[in-house]
Structure 1
C-alpha cells in the first residue's frame, strides 16, 4: 500500500453545512498554474487554485436551482476551456471560467424542465448529453449540438424507465454513448442512428446504477447503489465466436475492499481506480482496476489517503495527472489536496499547506455536524 500526504485544505469560504458534490479542471493541463472548479450544495460554481487551494473566482453564486452535475468541456473552437453544469431546474449550462459576469454562455433545456441528474460532453462533435429523473412515467436521454442549443438534436425516451444517473462517451468511438439508470440497466447506443428502436447496441442488466463507464475500448464497469460491482465485455456484432465472454461479477465490494462506501471510478492515462471510503477508519483508498490476466483489483498498489475527511463522507474525487495531485471534497465542506511524498513543491509550500490543513481541521471539528434535511437536496448516496 502507498500513502498520499495531505498538503493543503480549504473551505473556500463555503457556507457552514455545505456539501461538495463534484470537482473538475477549469484550465488546460498544459497551463502551468492550474485552476479547478467545484459545485456544492449551496448551488454555487467556484474556482480554486490547484497549488494552494486558495479560493479564486465565483463563476456563479447560483448556477442552478439544485445543481447536480459538473463536467469539463475542453474547447474545440468554442472559445477555450468551458465548464458544463446541470441541475434539477431542467437546464444544462456552459460557463466560461474566465468570465466575471456570472452568466452562462450557452443554455439548453430538457422538455418540461425535468430534473437532470447526469451529464456528459463530447467537444469533438459539439455534443452535450443529459439524463433526467423519471417524471410522468418517462426518463429521457437528450442530446444537443451546442451550435444550435435551442433545439434537442435527438433523444431517447423509451430506453430507461427510471432515473438516468450516468452518461459517458466511449473513449475512442465517440458515436457510442453509455447510459446507466436506477432501473438497473446500462445501455450502449450508436448516436449516428436516429431511430431509437435501432440505436441500442447493447443492454446490460446489473442493478440500480450509481456509476458506470468504460474501462477500455471493449469493457465497461457497473456499480450499483448497494456497492455491487461488475465488469462486462462490449459485444462485437462482427465476432465469429459463438458466445461472448461472460461478465465478471464481484458482488458487494465492501468486504473485499474493506470500505463502507464507494465514491466513484477515476479514469487516467494509466488506467482506472475505484475510490472507496471508510468513515470508521477515517480513510479513502484508490484501488487500481487491472486487465491482466483478467479484470480485477490490484490490492498490492492501493493508494491510501489517511484521515481523508475524518468521519465525514467523501463525495468528490479528482485525479490530476499533470500535477500528480488528488483532490477530494466532502460532506465537511472542505476541499483537500493529496500528493506523494517527494513531489516537486518547495518547503515553504509544504509548510504553508500543513499550517492551513491544521487550521482547517480544527475548524472542521468545531463546525456544526447537523446535516441538511431538505427533501429536495441532491443526494448521490
Structure 2
C-alpha cells in the first residue's frame, strides 16, 4: 500500500482547531512478514486475537466466526498447532493464561468459559459457568482474567431485566470431583444493558473496569464487601461502549460503537480527550464512515500509547498506526500490503511485532522497517501519565454516575 501523502500536519482537537488531517508523513512502515489464511471458507473471519509474551517464537490464538479457535506457533512462519472445536456457540473472547503459554481461556455466548490445555491436544480441563439452582446459563458478551489469574469475570447480555458481571475463582472448577462451586457471585445493579467489555487492571488484581451499551464505564474495587461499595467510579460516555482498556494507573481508553475514542481519567466527570472518525479524514470530500478504529495499545514499545485505525473503501483496505499525543493524533506507521478490514490486533511486546486479523480470514504478523527514536522504558513500568491524569490523594473519593 502506497503512502497516502508525503508530508505531515498534526491534528489538534483543542480549542476548535481544524479536525482534519491535511496530510500524513509516516516515520516508518509495518510490512507483513508472515501471512496465514485461517480457513478456506471465505465467510469465516477472525473475531479476536491473543498471544503469549514469553517467547521469541510466540503462540497466537484466534477466535473465528464459525465458533472454532485456532492456535499457531508464530516465528519466521506460521505453524498451526491445533484447532479447538468444542464450542457450540459464538466465541466472545479468547485469552492465554497470564502464567502459562499452554493454557487458553475461551468464553462463549452460551454462558461458559472453558480452559483448554494445549499440551493435551486442547482438552477442556476446566469450565466456569453460572451453575446456580435454576440451571439457566446467562449468555456472555465479554470476559477477562485478573493479572494474578485468581479471578475470571464474565459480562452478560441484558437478560431478565438485569445485566450481570459474574466472578469465578480459578482455583475451583466444575471439572474437579466434589469441587466447590467456583461461582463467587456477581454484580447486577451497576449496568442496565449488555456488558460488552471487561478489563482488569494491568497490575492491581482487585480493580476491574466494565463497559456497556448503556453508555457507562464502571470501575470496581473487588475487595469491598458489596456492589455499592465496590463501585468506585462511574463514567458516562453518552454513547454505547464497544471496547475499553487501561492506559495507566488511573486512565482508561474507550472505543464506542459509533467509532469515537474517549480518554478518561477515573476522577473526571468528562473525558480529557475525544477523537472522531472525521479526525482521520484527509479532505472534506472524504467519507468519515469509511474509517474505523480497531484497538489502542498502551505498551511503551513506541513511547506514547497508539491507535490502530483503518479505512475500508472500494479502493482498498488501508491500515495505519497513530500515536495518541496529549491533544492530537500523530501518524507513526503505515501498513504496506493490508488486504482486509481488521477486526482485532495484538502486540508482541518483546519484538514489537503486531498481529492483526480480520474479515478476509487472514492473520498477519507485521514488523517494523525501521526503528523510531522514542524513549525506552528500562524499568518495565507503564508509560508516562497521559493528559489529565492526576494523583489520587483521597482514596474514598467517588464520582457520581451522572
Does the TM-score normalized on the shorter chain lie above 0.5? yes
What CA distance in whole angstroms lies between the structure 1 residues aligned with 2:164 and 2:269?
31
What CA distance in whole angstroms lies between the structure 2 residues aligned with 1:287 and 1:97?
35
Which residue, 333, 357, 375 being the options, matches 1:303? 333
> Corresponding residue for 1:375?
none
| Gap regions ≥5 residues in structure 1 | 236-243, 344-381
What CA distance in whole angstroms lies between the structure 2 residues aligned with 1:56 and 1:196?
43
What CA distance in whole angstroms lies between the structure 2 residues aligned with 1:57 and 1:218?
38
Which residue, 75, 100, 103 being the options, matches 2:123? 103
Structure with the largest fraction of helix: 1
What CA distance in whole angstroms lies between the structure 1 residues aligned with 2:308 and 2:187?
31
> Corresponding residue for 1:82?
103
> Corresponding residue for 1:117?
141
CA 53–64 in structure 1, closer or farther in 2 if over 3 Å, else same: farther
Give the secondary structure class of the aligned counterpart of 2:148: helix
> Corresponding residue for 1:362?
none
Which residue, 53, 73, 82 being the options, matches 1:58? 82
Q: 8 Å contact 2:218–2:234 — kept in the other structure?
A: yes
What CA distance in whole angstroms lies between the structure 1 residues aligned with 2:91 and 2:363?
18
CA 103–232 in structure 1, closer or farther in 2 if over 3 Å, else same: same
Q: 8 Å contact 1:154–1:194 — kept in the other structure?
A: no
CA 93–115 in structure 1, closer or farther in 2 if over 3 Å, else same: same
Which residue, 264, 269, 273 being the options, matches 2:295? 264
CA 80–32 in structure 1, closer or farther in 2 if over 3 Å, else same: closer
> TM-score, structure 1 length as denominator?
0.78
CA 16–298 in structure 1, closer or farther in 2 if over 3 Å, else same: closer
> Corresponding residue for 1:276?
309
Say whether residues 1:148 and 2:172 are aligned partners: yes
Give the secondary structure class of the aligned counterpart of 1:98: helix
Give the secondary structure class of the aligned counterpart of 2:228: helix
> Corresponding residue for 1:222?
254
Structure 1 position 32, deviation (Å) = 3.4
What CA distance in whole angstroms lies between the structure 1 residues aligned with 2:347 and 2:147?
21
CA 341–231 in structure 1, closer or farther in 2 if over 3 Å, else same: closer
Q: 8 Å contact 2:220–2:232 — kept in the other structure?
A: yes
The RMSD of aligned alpha carbons is 2.1
Deviations 1:91-124 (A, max 9, x none): 0011222321x42111001362122111111151
> Corresponding residue for 2:44?
18
CA 49–143 in structure 1, closer or farther in 2 if over 3 Å, else same: same
Structure 1 position 167, deviation (Å) = 0.6
Which residue, 207, 216, 241 being the options, matches 1:185? 216
What CA distance in whole angstroms lies between the structure 2 residues aligned with 1:162 and 1:172?
28
What CA distance in whole angstroms lies between the structure 1 residues aligned with 2:149 and 2:44?
36
4+ runs deviating over 4 angstroms: none
After alignment, is 137-146 or 62-71 more displaced?
Answer: 62-71
After alignment, is 56-65 or 118-127 more displaced?
Answer: 56-65
What CA distance in whole angstroms lies between the structure 2 residues aligned with 1:121 and 1:104?
17
| Gap regions ≥5 residues in structure 2 | 1-25, 174-180, 282-289, 372-402
Give the secondary structure class of the aligned counterpart of 1:124: coil
Give the secondary structure class of the aligned counterpart of 1:165: strand
Deviations 1:222-261 (A, max 9, x none): 22100122222122xxxxxxxx58532425x211123611
Deviations 1:170-216 (A, max 9, x none): 22322111000000000000101131121100000001001112111
Give the secondary structure class of the aligned counterpart of 1:197: helix
> TM-score, structure 2 length as denominator?
0.74
Q: 8 Å contact 1:64–1:88 — kept in the other structure?
A: no
Aligned residue-pair number:
321
> Corresponding residue for 1:67?
91
Structure 1 position 137, deviation (Å) = 1.3
Which residue, 167, 175, 178 being the options, matches 2:198? 167
Structure 1 position 296, deviation (Å) = 3.6
